[in-house]
Amino acid sequence: MNKASCSLKQQHWYFSSCGSKETSGQPYRPTETGQHGLRGEVMNIGLMDIDSHNFPSIPLMKLSAWHKKQGDHVERYSEFCEYDRVYKSKVFSFSDDYQYAINAKEVIQGGSGYCIKNVDDIEIYNKLLDINLPYEIEHIYPDYSLYPELTKDTAYGRLTLGCPRQCSFCHTGVKDGLVSRKVACVSEFWDGQKNIVLIDQNILACRDWKELLTQLKETKANVKFDGGLDIRLMTNEKAQLIKQIKQQNMYFAWDRYQDKEMILPKFKLFKEITGFKERKLIVYVLTNYDTTFEQDVERVEILREMGYWAYVMVYNKYLLPKGHEILKLQRWVNNRFIFSKCKTFKEYKNLDNSNVSIRLLGI
| Residue 337 maps to a domain | no
pLDDT, position 41: 87
Q: Is 215 left (phi over 0), alpha (psi -120 to 50) or beta?
A: alpha
Q: Is the pLDDT of residue 26 over 70?
A: no
d(CA 3, CA 317): 8
pLDDT, position 36: 46
Domain hosting residue 108, numbered range: 1-146
Specify the number of domains making up the chain: 1
Q: Is the pLDDT of residue 221 over 90?
A: yes
| Residue 199 maps to a domain | no
| Residue 102 maps to a domain | yes
Q: Is the pLDDT of residue 8 over 50?
A: no
Q: Is the pLDDT of residue 19 over 60?
A: no
Q: Is the pLDDT of residue 3 over 90?
A: no
| Residue 101 maps to a domain | yes
d(CA 252, CA 87): 33
Whether the pTM exceeds 0.75: the reply is: yes
Q: How confident is the model at residue 123 (pLDDT cuts 50, 70, 90)?
A: confident
pLDDT, position 359: 54
Q: What is the pLDDT of residues 280-314, one digit of tens each?
A: 999 999 999 999 999 999 999 999 999 999 999 99
Burial class of residue 114, CB neighbours in 10 A (0-12, 13-18, 19+): buried
Percent of the chain at pLDDT above 90? 72
| Residue 163 maps to a domain | no
| Residue 286 maps to a domain | no
Q: Is 32 left (phi over 0), alpha (psi -120 to 50) or beta?
A: alpha
| Residue 224 maps to a domain | no
Per-residue pLDDT, averaged over 242-251, amounts to: 96
| Residue 135 maps to a domain | yes
pLDDT, position 28: 47
Q: Is the pLDDT of residue 88 over 60?
A: yes
Q: What is the pLDDT of residues 301-359, one digit of tens each?
A: 999 999 999 999 999 998 999 999 999 999 999 999 999 999 999 999 888 766 545 55
pLDDT, position 39: 46
pLDDT, position 40: 65
